[in-house]
Amino acid sequence: MQVSWDIFCDVVDNYGDVGVTWRLARQLVAEHGFAVRLWINDLSAFVRLCPHADPLAARQCQAGVEVCHWPEDWQPASIPDVVLEAFACRVPEAYTQAMLQRSPRPVWLNLDYLSAEDWVSGCHGLPSPQANGLKKFFFFPGFTEQTGGLLREQSLIAQRQAFQADPAAQQDFLRGLGVQPESGARLISLFAYENPALGSWLDQLLGEGVVTHLLVPQGRIVGDLQRWLGEGGLQAGAIRRRGALTIQVLPFVAQEQYDRLLWCCDFNVVRGEDSFVRAQWAARPMLWHIYQQQDDAHRPKLEAFLALYLATLPAEAAQATAELWRAWSAGEEVQEGWQQLNRYWPQMREHAEHWCQQQAARSDLASALVQFYRNSL
């Protein structure tokens, strides 16, 4: 009998919650042969990542996944072998009651946010007994052996390497997006939250006089871009030239295409959780705009990742990266950090590939979840 999974996704904001669960659901179907239902409470967010999807359908099949609208008014549904709540969302009470009735009881998991902090390895896989007698397990993604790993499709790295070794394929892909960079141009992608630091970086890019093509997917940073350009209403497709700097606004594309965009670029600015991981698989130098939390709770997360990511880099290159990332996340001027980083470009490029290979040598998150499920039988 085919093993069945329910994944629950409460879209808090933006696209990370739905991005991670949609990616995981597809992988569980494609690589592990499971029957997966993905419950999403806001299908409009899902449609951005899966443009063919129907935002109004109560149920639809996409890439082999049964994508279901998670209604406020919950209707009874069968209970699968595995129930996964993403990012501390809670399944409906009636559903929990039905879990109690099932024999055998389903394996119940809570997939947490990604963090490089030390405490994560101590909490990964721990049970959390519930008052009703059910047991829920905490499952933590992460960067070390003691965690659940990172989402990575089986052939992702091979695909990425083949694409990066094929300039014609890159050119075709970019042309499909309406992007035709000057030959030899430095390509940069920018997917970030609002940031007052943007102007200082654009000033710097402009001042360097290096032919640069900056690709900006539609989203929250576009307001700051408009302010710097001194105009409003920028739509996807807009191209503006300032000296050697070309800025182009891109449409929001499907996840597979976004991967290719990252693979094409020399430098990627990413944010949140999922694009942050995808940039690591792209194996190019990057800048992470970490999701800002109350009381600066994101700062230790940023530092924890920097400590891991930069551990094997020469001190100066590590220092330059850390300065740039800290300044960007604090919304402070980034000229200095960017200039410093540019001095270590060859090391940063090599390091990005090395980090990617190191992380890819470990079990991926979907496989680790499957293993956890099998061990719990």
Rounded CA-CA distance 39/6 in Å is 7
Q: Which of 253, 302, 313, 356 binds ligand TRH (CB under 6 A)?
A: 253
**Closest distance to ligand TRH from the beta carbon of 164 (Å):** 19
Q: Which of 142, 272, 285, 337 binds ligand TRH (CB under 6 A)?
A: 272
Q: Is 252 in the site for ligand TRH (CB under 6 A)?
A: yes
Q: Is 255 in the site for ligand TRH (CB under 6 A)?
A: yes
Q: Which of 6, 10, 85, 274 binds ligand TRH (CB under 6 A)?
A: 274
Q: Is 151 in the site for ligand TRH (CB under 6 A)?
A: no
**Closest distance to ligand TRH from the beta carbon of 297 (Å):** 12
User: Exactly one of 6, 259, 273, 274 is catalytic; which is it?
Assistant: 273
Rounded CA-CA distance 233/20 in Å is 30
Q: Is 81 in the site for ligand TRH (CB under 6 A)?
A: no
Q: Which is nearer to ligand TRH, 222 or 348 (CB)?
A: 222
Residues 194-233 that bind ligand TRH (CB under 6 A): 217
User: Binding mask 38-77 vs ligand TRH (x if CB under 6 A, - otherwise)?
Assistant: -----------x----------------------------
3-state secondary structure the chain: CCCEEEEEECCCCCCHHHHHHHHHHHHHHHHHCCEEEEEECCHHHHHHHCCCCCCCCCEEEECCEEEEECCCCCCCCCCCCEEEEECCCCCCHHHHHHHHHCCCCCEEEEECCCCCCCHHHHHCCCEEECCCCCEEEEECCCCCCCCCCCCCCCCHHHHHHHHHCCHHHHHHHHHHCCCCCCCCCEEEEECCCCCCCHHHHHHHHHHHCCCEEEEEECCCCHHHHHHHHCCCCCCCCCEEEECCEEEEEECCCCHHHHHHHHHHCCEEEEECCHHHHHHHHHCCCEEEECCCCHHHCHHHHHHHHHHHHCCCCCHHHHHHHHHHHHHHHHCCCCHHHHHHHHHCHHHHHHHHHHHHHHHHCCCCHHHHHHHHHHHCC
**Closest distance to ligand TRH from the beta carbon of 279 (Å):** 9
Q: Is 273 in the site for ligand TRH (CB under 6 A)?
A: yes
Q: Is 288 in the site for ligand TRH (CB under 6 A)?
A: no
Q: Is 142 in the site for ligand TRH (CB under 6 A)?
A: no
Q: Which is nearer to ligand TRH, 249 or 322 (CB)?
A: 249
Q: Is 85 in the site for ligand TRH (CB under 6 A)?
A: no
Stretch that binds ligand TRH, among 153-161, 164-172, 269-277, 323-331 (CB under 6 A): 269-277
Q: Is 148 in the site for ligand TRH (CB under 6 A)?
A: no
Q: Which is nearer to ligand TRH, 91 or 253 (CB)?
A: 253
Q: Which is nearer to ligand TRH, 12 or 169 (CB)?
A: 12
Angle between helices 315-330 and 345-360 (to 10 degrees): 80
Question: Does the annotation count 166 as an active-site position?
Answer: no
Q: Which residues are catalytic?
A: 17, 273
For ligand TRH, the binding residues (CB under 6 A) are 12-17, 19, 49, 113, 191, 217, 252-255, 258, 271-276, 291
